[in-house]
Every structure is written in structure tokens, then in C-alpha cells.
Chains A and B, each alone.
Chain A
Amino acid sequence: MTLFSVNRLQKRFGDRVVLHDISFGVEDGEVRGIVGPNGAGKTTCFHVLTGRYKPDGGIVTFDGHDVTGLPPYAIARRGIARSFQLMNLFDDYSVLENVLVATPELRSRGLDMLGRAARPGPAMDRAYEALSDVGLIERAARPARSLPYGERRALEIAVALACAPRLLFLDEPTAGLGAEGIARLAGLISRLRGRITLIVIEHDMRFLFGLADRISVVHWGQVIASGTPDELRTNPWVARSQLATVGMAA
């Protein structure tokens, strides 16, 4: 079943067309990779799909509902979460509080002014689950700002997971990570596979070719090729754009 589909998405900034014609569909439970060179429009595409920018054209549907141009909070409430490329955390809060405020269970109690946010219950369970997914349980009490870079990246993903998404966008999750961090991330994505649907933007082709079910290649603001990693290795378009050289060598 197609969970998420993007049809002829367009975005302009002034007279600069950044997204020409982005179309793709993602199956329920799939891990989809999105690759492309710098400036191809990958991050803009994420911003449009998650509500940060309004599209200038096209239709986005999620689970059979039109979600085109909805504001970020509404998209999040439907079950689409995202991580950020640049870290975007609640720095004064503890690691646990960062994930706790992101849970739908806490959100639904959002107008409760007298109860205790940190009481044991479904919100707390989900917060701990998100921390355990990324291996940060031990750090729960630390202030977010005191974490080293790699763990901040992990917390970034945990906050998105705490939203209990059906569809999760990861924006360049390997950026700045060492070999060990990348391996841990690959492990996390394998564990999430089947539980939720993932769309991953990446520069690191080797990483994506090993993990993604299907990959869409974005160039010049459009999807120039789509397919399984094996299909893409032999795709003449991709070969010509020399995008997948790393991946094909792998």
C-alpha cells in the first residue's frame, strides 16, 4: 500500500525554481533513500513535505489524506516526524525532557496546568522507549546542551521518534559522524525497518545503498531516477551523473 505520495511538487523562491517536478511514492514500511548532489533540492524538498515551506504546486498525500501545505504541527499530528540536519533541540532541558515534550501523550495533555508532566505513564514510557532506541538511556538526566556531538545527533533522532511517527524523515543523519556512529545509525535504521516508514536524505551513498529498499535520485529539482539499489547501479542516467560512483563501487 502506498503510504505517502508526492505528485508534481513545485517550489520557487522568487524566480528561482528549486523544485521543478518532484514525484514519488513510498510504500508502507519501506526505507526510501533520497540522494542527489548539493543544491539539487533535497533539503528544500524535506522542508516542503514537512510543512516548513508551502509548495507552489503539486499534491502530497499521506495515508489517503491530502496534506499539501499543512502547517508543521498539523503534519506532525498526522504521524509524520522529521529530524533536522542542523541540531535543533531543547537545550536547557534534560535528555529525557527533550523526548518527553515530543510525545503525543504529553501533547494531548498540553492544556493540563496542574498535573505533573514527569509522572509515570504512557508519555514517560514512550520517552524512555525513544531513548532506548538510540541508546541514550544512560544519559537521560544530562542537560541536552552538555552532550557530545554524536549523542546530540542521536537525541535529534530520538526526539523525532518520540513523536510516534508512522513516517519519519531523516535529514542527512550521518553528517559529522565517525565510522562507529554511522554503524550505530545503520543498526538503528535496521531495527526501525518494518515498524515505521523511513525517508532518508543522504550524501553517503555507501550507507544508503546498504540500507534502502528503494532510492530516488534528485537532480535539478526533479526525480531523475528511482529504483532498488541494484537497478540504480545499472541506470545510465545515474551512471552519467556520476552520482552513484561510490555506491556502485561498494
Chain B
Amino acid sequence: MSIARTPSLLPLPLVATLVVLGTSPLWNAKLGLYPYVMVEIAIWMTFALGYNLLLGGAGLPSFGHGAFFGVGAYATGLAVTRLGAGLWTALACGALAGAIAGAIVGAFVSHRRGIYYALLTIAFGQVFWFVSIKWHSVTGGEDGLLNIRRPPVDLGFARLSLDANESLLYLALGVLAVVALFLWRLAYSPYGRVLGAVKQNEVRAAFVGHRVWQYKWSAFVISCTIAALAGSLFALAQQSAYPNVMSLHQSGFVVMMVLIGGGLVSFWGPLIGVAFFLLARDLLGAYTETWLLWYGLLFMAVVLFKPEGIAGLWRAGLARVRRAFVHAVPATPARRNESAS
């Protein structure tokens, strides 16, 4: 453990993720996958990292986060279909809508913690879902917003079409990279360290002078903004936005991904969790329609036996290897030669 934690400028897990996903058009067909899955993985990774700022970073269990993902999807859909917005405007509208919704909901939930926090966020999530179904004139009711075209990427000097899923993948990876680097910096910033202190001991944090409420609220708003940004990309990927996008299912999925990946103990754990979940869905789903049943059982096993998730397993495995190595390399030169051979 280091005295003064310093983030690396280009964290390896992020680089690895971007390389693997970025090269996926070259190999995914061989695994029976297709470009769209990779787009979805990149989007959910963004969502999950943002979600984990709240769960792993601040210790606040929001179980209604799908709502903000959905708010982003609808806002982007509306911006494109009603206003004819360009790509950047559409994404900004999505993120902004998420920030506003998050600011309002956060004001109600941020004095709470634990089970009350969880229940309140579920309740608010249901409110958003209900509105999306009932507010026909804006949301299109149960059908949702259809035919959301993908505006081209406007770089000023050139316009790149996003019609192909491969192109959209690179946009989604770009967003993932920016969000991940921001959250990575944040984790080691004064803000992130105080947030961690609030997570560990809210009472003490207040007694050393921190406005605890302000930190819980702002973490919620940031997390909702990122969720909405991911939702914006999702609307472009699906070319539609519909109530299911903000259903309780969606909220549950992100929790499952983050927990299985090990978000409670690891910053990058959620990335593994997302890949694991979506690949399980597509690969297992090809064999059986009941894949979610098996996944659910697996999820329960993880929560019961290894709450630290895949990242926790990985660390425990590494520690075991290291210990084995220490035992295998003893003090006497003779035996050191043995283990080297």
C-alpha cells in the first residue's frame, strides 16, 4: 500500500479494454459475435463506471439508475427527431437532462443512506419509467421514440457517418475513454478522497469540516450525468428510445454488472463485469433462452461466496501465486536453483 496514492496517467486496464474493443471488428466474427455487441459493451462500460462512482466510490446504493440512462436516451432522441440536432448537441442534451434529473432526485435522496437510499432511488426510478409510458405527446408512450437517425460526427473539417456500427463503436470508445480518465483522476483528487472518507465514516467526515450532503449530492449528479450520456449513445445505437430502457430491469443489470465485476473493491472491476454480462447474454443466449436464470444463479453465488467479484477473485489468485512463489523461493541457494530449473 502506497502512502500517497498516485494515479497512472494512462491506466493499463483502460488501455487494454480500448485495444481489445477497438480491434474487435477484426476478430468478432470468428467468435460468433457482431459489431453491435461491442458498441453495447462500450456503452454499458461507461454507464457502469459512472454508476460505480456512487456505489463503490461513495458507498451509496442507487437501485434506480436505469432511469437516468433512459432520460439521456429520450433527451437525445427528442433533440434529434424534434430539433434536428447535430451529434454533439444531441449528446450534450442527453447529458444535461441527466444532470438536471439527477440534481432534483439527488436533493431528495442525499440526506439518506443504506436501505432508505436504495428504496428512494427505486421509487424515483419507477416515477421516471411511469412518466415515459404515460406522457404520450413527448415520449411516444409504450412505443417510444422511433427512427432516431444517427447524426454524423462533425469535426469541423470533416463529417464522418455513424451509420455503420463499427463507426459508432469508435465514438462510444472515445466517450468511454474520456469518462474513464475523468473518473480515474477524480478518484485520486481531493474531491474523490473526501468522498471516500464520507463513504467510510460520514459522521467523522462532518466533524472534520466536510459538508457531507454536498459530496453525496454532487456524486449523484455526476453519476447520473454519465448514465445519461451512456443512454444518449444507446438511443443512437438502437435508433430508438423506449420505456424499457429506463425500467427497473435496466437498473438491476448495471448493479449486477458492477457487483460481479468487483466494483466494491476495484475501480476497473465494472469493465470486467460488463463484458462478462453481455458476452454471457449473447453466447449463453445462443444456446438457451433461460440464460438469465443461469446468470442469476451465478450472481447469487458471487454475492454469497465472493462479494468482491471477479476483481476480488483475481486479486486473491494473484496473492496466492505470490505466496506460492515466496514459499517456492526459500533462503537456501540449493533450493533456489531447484525452483529455477
Contact = CB atoms under 8 A, between A and B. Distances in A.
**Bind each other:** yes
B191 A112 contact: yes
A10 interface: no
B200 interface: yes
Given A110-B194, A114-B189, A116-B189, A82 B207 contact: yes
Interface stretch (A13-21, A73-81, A178-186, A226-234): A73-81
Nearest to B183: A113
Interface string A151-162: 000000001101
A117 B3 contact: no
Contacts of B192: 113, 117
B200 A92 contact: yes
A101 B215 CA distance: 13
Interface residues of A, number: 45
A106 B201 CA distance: 17
Interface in A89-109: 89-94, 96-97, 100-102, 104, 106-107, 109
B210 A107 contact: yes
Nearest to A140: B3
Interface of B is mostly: helix
B122 interface: no
Interface string B196-219: 110011011111111110010010
Given A88-B204, A90-B197, A112 B189 contact: yes
Given A82-B207, A88-B204, A92-B200, A101 B191 contact: no
Given A90-B197, A101-B197, A116-B6, A111 B207 contact: no
A114 B190 CA distance: 8
Contacts of A239: none
Nearest to A99: B208
B211 A101 contact: no
A127 to B, nearest CB: 10
Given A93-B200, A142-B1, A143-B1, A100 B193 contact: yes
Interface in A115-144: 115-118, 124, 140-143
Contact of A113 (B1, B5, B185, B206): B185
A159 B1 contact: no
A163 B208 contact: yes
B4 interface: yes
B208 A110 contact: no
A234 to B, nearest CB: 38
Given A84-B204, A91-B200, A143-B1, A76 B190 contact: no
A45 B201 CA distance: 22
Contacts of A97: 5, 193
A118 B191 contact: no
Contacts of A88: 201, 203-204, 207
Contacts of A160: 208
A208 B207 CA distance: 25
Contact of A89 (B1, B2, B201): B201
B186 interface: yes
Q: Which 3 pairs between the two chains have the least Cβ-Cβ distance?
A: A118-B4, A76-B209, A102-B208
Interface of A: 50-52, 71-73, 76-77, 81-82, 84, 88-94, 96-97, 100-102, 104, 106-107, 109-118, 124, 140-143, 159-160, 162-163
7 contacts: A52-B203, A76-B208, A81-B208, A84-B204, A88-B201, A114-B186, A162-B208
